[in-house]
Structure 1
Amino acid sequence: MPISPSLAQLPVRRLTSDDLLACADLSENRGWPREEHKWGLLLTAGTGYGIDDPSGAGLLACSVVTSYGPGLAAIGMVLVAERYARQGVGRRLMEHVVTEAGDTPLTLHATPNGQPLYEQLGFTETSRAEMVRGRFTFSTPAPAVPVRPATAEDLQTILRLDHEVFGLDRTHMITRLPAFADHLRVAVEDGEVTGFAAAWPNMDTHVVGPLIARDPATAQALIASLAAAGDRPLRTDVDVRHTALLGWLKENGVDSVASNAVMVRSLPDLPGDWRRRFAPLTVAAG
């Protein structure tokens, strides 16, 4: 719907790490988890945009853009306070973000509620991601692929593998994993790193991501190792084309919660190799 003149005049500003609590408050306002740990990563590694609530009570809208250079930027955490919902604020914020991006291709994960707006702004669905969550039961064993904790010496190898599979350089995100994640694992076969995965804390769960692996067997071994290292339920977002991995996760008590559209703008598809890209670091950052 058209935005009211009073809301249209409110400026969109860049957010900083000082806005972390206001972003978490807005998440909570819309029934999402506060996710302060994730917000901290996104606001330091990416660029946040927000509209201040004229009442002085924090933010009325926000979003975060994570750039991977001129080849791609990911949009996430698009939120509008409940009292301002369905008044055109989300469109206004998204139009600002798209304009700021210029010629840079964009990607995002869209909920069913948000997808129509994104389609109107030129985004098209290229795949889907299934969010799964649950306490890992170890009912169906993982294949016997060697997995061990990553060390500092593995970082350059991880970065090279990630660049190859993701298709773009995300050094600014991957190098934050040792501090951001509780556990970081690598799969090694015949002296070669064939995959890596992290588990990072998010409220009462461990989110598995990124998950990069040579094949489904390697992905399963990485997840099983991460599950054994912690005592929280697992959560991850798996490309629905990875049916074998999704089936195995469900056999182990990690069940479907939601399905979202993976969308792109000014790009036919995401770069890289989806066959080895099983889950994002977070859907908010691609």
Structure 2
Amino acid sequence: MSLRAMEEGDIPAVHALSKAEKWPHRVDDLAPMLALGHGIVAEMGGKIVGTTIWWPCGDKVATLGIVIVSRTHRGAGIGRIVMEAVLDAIGDRTILLNATDDGLPLYRKLGFQGVSEILQHQGAAFSVPIVPLEAGERLRPVGLRDADRVAALVEGATGLHRPALMAALLKKARGVVIDREGELLGVALFRRFGRGYVVGPVVAPDPHRARALISHWVGSRAGKFTRLDITGESRLGEWLDELGLVRVGRVVTMVKGEPPVPTGPAHSFAIVSQALG
């Protein structure tokens, strides 16, 4: 077995491994992920049998995802070898990842600790009531001049410095913000992903305003498959279930090192994706 850097030409093979796990990624989802980060592949006999991609969040934090070992090569320690290689590449940064049940034992052995959870909700048949905002607040589309403020709002809510990711998302996603006399209180982005569409990230001061942001997107897209990956602290699960966006999965958010500290007045209610965090 040999390890090397993941290249753009590897994306079809990575997609095949992801599809074998019944993960929803399209080739069009994976290619931009690699462009924003750094990937490692394990090869045997000319075939890719293990993968991972990591993304820097400034100099002190990184996120990690797309950790896959071919089902026909499990039990041979490939997952640990790939993970040790990516940990060496990341260096002294704090590392965040979202772990499936299969990955939990390995990540714990490597020093990761569970700190939260992400709940996956999805559906296509839903009915959404209007969620009113406070006086002086309005929902409006994200404008060209909003990019820096939206990125700062999301960074403040998550503690993750990711200007390149936010710039890429704002180029391909549609977004709405809660505007109070020129002040941005919250934001929700909506984009093509996997089997349909995803709402995320969602950042807001409180669950009520988060519901208002989410309602805008799912209310105008009834009948289209839509997914959200909400934080365990969001208190949105029961509401989403009632709308018809039912919970279908759970992953554990794990950290190796000191967790990033949010600094802004808003909170994270839904993440970009389970891989990117």
* TM-score, length basis structure 1: 0.89
Query: In the alignment, is residue 217 of structure 1 matched against residue 208 of structure 2?
Result: yes
- Which residue in the other structure is 1:29 paired with? 20
RMSD: 1.8
- Which residue in the other structure is 1:102 paired with? 91
Corresponding letter in the other structure for 2:248:
V
Corresponding pairs, count: 272
- Which residue in the other structure is 2:61 paired with? 72
1: CA distance, partners of 2:123 / 2:230: 14
Q: Deviations over 1:199-225 (max 9, x none)?
A: 121232211111111111221111111
Corresponding letter in the other structure for 2:18:
S
2: CA distance, partners of 1:227 / 1:158: 21
Q: Which runs of 5+ in 2 are unaligned?
A: none
SS at match of 1:208: strand
SS at match of 2:274: coil
Query: In the alignment, is residue 86 of structure 1 matched against residue 75 of structure 2?
Result: yes
2: CA distance, partners of 1:33 / 1:86: 24
SS at match of 2:12: helix
2: CA distance, partners of 1:34 / 1:212: 24
C-alpha deviation, 1:229, in angstroms = 4.0
2: CA distance, partners of 1:174 / 1:229: 24
C-alpha deviation, 1:273, in angstroms = 5.6
Which deviates further from its counterpart, 108-117 or 152-161?
A: 152-161
Q: Deviations over 1:43-84 (max 9, x none)?
A: 000111111231x34x11101101102221011010111111
Query: In the alignment, is residue 207 of structure 1 matched against residue 198 of structure 2?
Result: yes
Q: Deviations over 1:140-162 (max 9, x none)?
A: 44233622221111112112212
Q: Which runs of 5+ in 1 are unaligned?
A: 1-9
Corresponding letter in the other structure for 1:221:
A
Corresponding letter in the other structure for 2:175:
L
SS at match of 1:232: coil
Query: In the alignment, is residue 41 of structure 1 matched against residue 32 of structure 2?
Result: yes
Which deviates further from its counterpart, 169-178 or 13-22?
A: 13-22
C-alpha deviation, 1:136, in angstroms = 5.6
1: CA distance, partners of 2:125 / 2:189: 16
2: CA distance, partners of 1:185 / 1:238: 18
- The 1:246/1:227 distance shift into structure 2, 3 A limit, reads same
- Which residue in the other structure is 2:167 paired with? 175
2: CA distance, partners of 1:36 / 1:234: 19
Tell whether the 8 Å contact from 1:140 to 1:251 is kept in structure 2 after alignment: no
Corresponding letter in the other structure for 2:230:
V
Of residues 156, 167, 171, the one that matches 1:164 is: 156
* TM-score, length basis structure 2: 0.92
- Which residue in the other structure is 1:237 paired with? 229
Tell whether the 8 Å contact from 1:109 to 1:260 is kept in structure 2 after alignment: yes
- The 1:136/1:156 distance shift into structure 2, 3 A limit, reads farther
C-alpha deviation, 1:186, in angstroms = 1.2
Tell whether the 8 Å contact from 1:164 to 1:272 is kept in structure 2 after alignment: yes
- Which residue in the other structure is 2:147 paired with? 155
Corresponding letter in the other structure for 1:82:
R
